[in-house]
């Protein structure tokens, strides 16, 4: 039986690494900062250092994620990023084994690319596991049960919708909707409607501080941006009511996709899901007012997991590293 020491979640927003018997060893932005030179692009910074450069460099510097919607878009930069991250957790390339958390709807071609990538970083065996299964384990769900669970994992870059039964993924879909898309929409709409240009970092702070699905929320926050007309830095008060019409459509799309998934299932399975309740996890599920939003807009019973938020999946991966029998069963079924 194959034993695994490391688990890695390569998200479009953040990458997390868990080390067996040690715990969560790293959580950093999945970002690369690079600048063109006569010899090609030169990497200026990686991870949190790259994020610190956002909006603070000249136009020639690009800060980007080499992973988009759970798919490796730029293999070379993703390789550099992972080598950097594993060096930070003191991985010595001793041909250890690693478990990689991936989207449930990943194609075989993309699965092979993940395998190739982690082998190139220095790992011997590479196991691919649906991240949503780890999310279930992270909140104490029994994924070996004959009772079906539907979990919706709402992350920084995408949302996974998965139907799980007896260690297997019965049905899964991945939506390109996550916290980063909402950040971009906030920045765009504030520039368009308020005439104030703000960076993605400020938009993320706004979402976290005053983003709300309560229809009558009175929270507000002052931000500093550049006036579109005068080009002069200026302060502006943004309210939760300003953000509501920007945020709500993204949640509407997620809810519609979940309902389509449920109505497409056989009656026995959908009955299980209705009895258990749909489980919503992830950082985006912690949005203020999300519970009340579901009561207004979702036709099925729901459970919103707020504890641990964005860390619930990687903590579930840690549990899976300790259960070699279950891990190998999941790998065989995926």
Where does the pLDDT of residue 161 fall: very low under 50, low under 70, confident under 90, or very high at 90 and above? very high
> What is the Cα–Cα distance from 44 to 143, expressed in whole angstroms?
43
Q: Is the confidence at residue 15, as pLDDT, over 80?
A: yes
Matching CATH topology for 6-29+70-135+311-333 and 145-306?
yes
What is the per-residue pLDDT for 284?
A: 92
Q: Is the confidence at residue 306, as pLDDT, over 90?
A: no
> What is the Cα–Cα distance from 195 to 173, expressed in whole angstroms?
37
Which of 6-10, 53-57, 102-106, 171-175 is most confident?
6-10
Q: Is the confidence at residue 184, as pLDDT, over 80?
A: yes
Task: Give whole-number Cα distances, 271 to 137, 172, 264, 301, in Å.
Answer: 22, 18, 12, 11
Per this entry, what is the length of the chain? 334
Q: Does residue 193 contact residue 239 with C-beta atoms inside 8 Å?
A: no
Identify the helix (H) or strand (E) that includes residue 198.
none
Q: Does residue 321 contact residue 4 with C-beta atoms inside 8 Å?
A: yes
> What is the Cα–Cα distance from 332 to 328, expressed in whole angstroms?
6
Q: Which sequence spans correspond to the domains of the chain? A: 6-29+70-135+311-333, 31-64, 145-306
What is the per-residue pLDDT for 213?
A: 97
Q: Is the confidence at residue 41, as pLDDT, over 90?
A: no
Tell me the mean pLDDT in the region 38-52. Answer: 89
Task: Give whole-number Cα distances, 133 to 75, 243, 325, in Å.
Answer: 26, 32, 15
Fold held by 6-29+70-135+311-333 = Nucleotidyltransferase; domain 5 (3.30.420)
Q: Does residue 243 contact residue 210 with C-beta atoms inside 8 Å?
A: yes
DSSP strand pairing (278-281 vs 302-304): parallel
> What is the Cα–Cα distance from 98 to 112, expressed in whole angstroms?
15
Q: Is the confidence at residue 93, as pLDDT, over 80?
A: no
Where does the pLDDT of residue 250 fall: very low under 50, low under 70, confident under 90, or very high at 90 and above? very high
What is the per-residue pLDDT for 29?
A: 94
> What is the Cα–Cα distance from 97 to 171, expressed in whole angstroms?
28
Tell me the mean pLDDT in the region 294-301. Answer: 95
Q: What percent of the chain has pLDDT over 70?
A: 100
Q: Is the confidence at residue 165, as pLDDT, over 80?
A: yes
pLDDT in tens, 135-152: 999 988 889 988 899 999
CATH number of 145-306: 3.30.420.40
Q: What percent of the chain has pLDDT over 90?
A: 71
Q: Is the confidence at residue 181, as pLDDT, over 90?
A: yes
Where does the pLDDT of residue 332 fall: very low under 50, low under 70, confident under 90, or very high at 90 and above? confident
What is the per-residue pLDDT for 298?
A: 96
What average pLDDT is seen over the chain? 92
Q: Does residue 278 contact residue 152 with C-beta atoms inside 8 Å?
A: yes
Look up tokens 């008060």; give the residue.
237
Tell me the mean pLDDT in the region 32-58. Answer: 87
What b-and-e string marks burial along 274-301, b requiring 16 or more CB atoms within 10 Å of the CB? eebebbbbbbbbbbbbbeebbeeebebe
What is the per-residue pLDDT for 32?
A: 95
pLDDT in tens, 279-289: 999 989 999 99
Tell me the mean pLDDT in the region 317-327. Answer: 93
Q: Is the confidence at residue 309, as pLDDT, over 80?
A: no
> What is the Cα–Cα distance from 51 to 81, expressed in whole angstroms?
13
Task: Give whole-number Cα distances, 162 to 135, 179, 217, 273, 280, in Å.
Answer: 11, 19, 32, 11, 11
Tell me the mean pLDDT in the region 48-65. Answer: 88
Tell me the mean pLDDT in the region 144-172. Answer: 91
């Amino acid at each position: 039986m194959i034993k695994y020491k490391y688990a890695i979640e390569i998200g479009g927003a953040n990458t997390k690494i868990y080390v067996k018997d040690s715990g969560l060893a790293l959580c950093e932005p999945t970002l690369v900062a690079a600048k063109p030179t006569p010899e090609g692009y030169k990497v200026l910074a990686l991870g949190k250092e790259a994020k610190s450069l956002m909006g603070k460099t000249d136009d020639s510097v690009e800060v980007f994620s080499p992973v988009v919607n759970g798919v490796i878009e730029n293999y070379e930069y993703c390789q550099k990023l992972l080598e950097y991250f594993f060096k930070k957790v003191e991985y010595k390339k001793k041909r250890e084994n690693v478990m990689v958390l991936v989207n449930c709807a990943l194609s075989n071609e993309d699965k092979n690319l993940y395998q190739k990538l982690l082998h190139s970083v220095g790992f011997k065996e590479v196991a691919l596991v649906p991240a949503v299964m780890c999310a279930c384990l992270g909140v104490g769900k029994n994924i070996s049960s004959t009772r079906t669970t539907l979990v919706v994992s709402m992350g920084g870059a995408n949302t996974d919708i998965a139907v799980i039964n007896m260690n297997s993924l019965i049905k899964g879909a991945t939506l390109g909707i996550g916290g980063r898309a909402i950040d971009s929409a906030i920045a765009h709409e504030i520039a368009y409607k308020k005439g104030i240009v703000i960076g993605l970092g400020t938009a993320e702070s706004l979402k976290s501080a005053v983003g709300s699905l309560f229809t009558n929320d009175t929270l507000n926050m002052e931000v500093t941006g550049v006036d579109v007309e005068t080009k002069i830095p200026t302060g502006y008060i943004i309210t939760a009511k300003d953000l509501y019409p920007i945020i709500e459509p993204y949640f509407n799309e997620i809810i519609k996709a979940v309902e389509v998934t449920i109505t497409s299932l056989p009656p026995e399975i959908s009955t299980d899901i209705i009895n258990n309740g749909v489980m919503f996890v992830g950082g985006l599920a912690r949005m203020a007012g999300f519970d009340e939003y579901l009561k207004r807009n979702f036709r099925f019973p729901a459970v919103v997991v707020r504890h641990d938020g964005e860390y619930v999946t990687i903590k579930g991966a840690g549990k899976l590293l300790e259960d070699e029998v279950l891990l190998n069963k999941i790998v065989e079924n995926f």
